[in-house]
Chain A
Amino acid sequence: AQSVSQHNHHVILSEAASLELGCNYSYGGTVNLFWYVQYPGQHLQLLLKYFSGDPLVKGIKGFEAEFIKSKFSFNLRKPSVQWSDTAEYFCAASIKAAGNKLTFGGGTRVLVKP
């Protein structure tokens, strides 16, 4: 069965620090990969997605993620975080053959201290 794991449950860092959130998935076929974010009091929104092509994907708000097929990973990065990046981040995967239903990781709560 498809699964997604996120390495950290909680991350605390200061403004201007770099952020990297790990995500690994288990599925041998063609997967679609996503990072969603939920800011406090808001709904889940898409940060970025990977379907094919360039494995380095750029998303909104300065985020990027790199798909490394050999490592089954899709880590999220941001070179310099802001206080407004405080949120919960979710990695997710889907496959077309399964109706594109999303399998989520456990989420990572990121707190950026001003």
Chain B
Amino acid sequence: EAGVTQFPSHSVIEKGQTVTLRCDPISGHDNLYWYRRVMGKEIKFLLHFVKESKQDESGMPNNRFLAERTGGTYSTLKVQPAELEDSGVYFCASSPLVSNQGYEQFFGPGTRLTVL
């Protein structure tokens, strides 16, 4: 079974540019989460999709961030325009809606975003 994949693995952009990160969850996982780790800080929740619906976007920093999950499969996270403080590692995680394995989330490798 393929794990959670993220693309790109690294992105270096200049302040003011736009970047789109992609996450492909494990097939069949209806829950999809985005997290971010800014250097030196803890991993923080950004938002949560259940299928194609945004369940909780309380962690989104501001309106420069837009997340979508068309069709309830892969998700994209767009940052427009990027600012220096957006640099960090963006993680995606997925989990089944119902599971007898508890609420474990499976993480992707992350996208390291550097804004210059």
Task: State the A residues within 8 Å of B (CB).
Answer: 4, 32, 34, 36, 42-46, 49, 51, 90, 92, 94, 96, 98-107
Contacts and interface: CB of A to CB of B under 8 A. Distances in A.
Contacts, number: 58
Nearest to A34: B104
A44 B103 contact: no
Nearest to B40: A106
Nearest to B58: A101
Given A99-B48, A99-B56, A46 B110 contact: no
A42 B17 CA distance: 28
B35 A102 contact: yes
A10 B106 CA distance: 25
Contact of B91 (A44, A98, A103): A44
A32 B42 contact: no
A94 B103 contact: yes
Nearest to B50: A99
Contacts of B45: 101-103
Contact of A106 (B41, B55, B56, B93): B41
Contacts of B44: 104
A46 B101 CA distance: 12
Task: Point out which of B105, B108, B110 has the most chain A C-beta atoms below 10 A from its C-beta.
Answer: B105
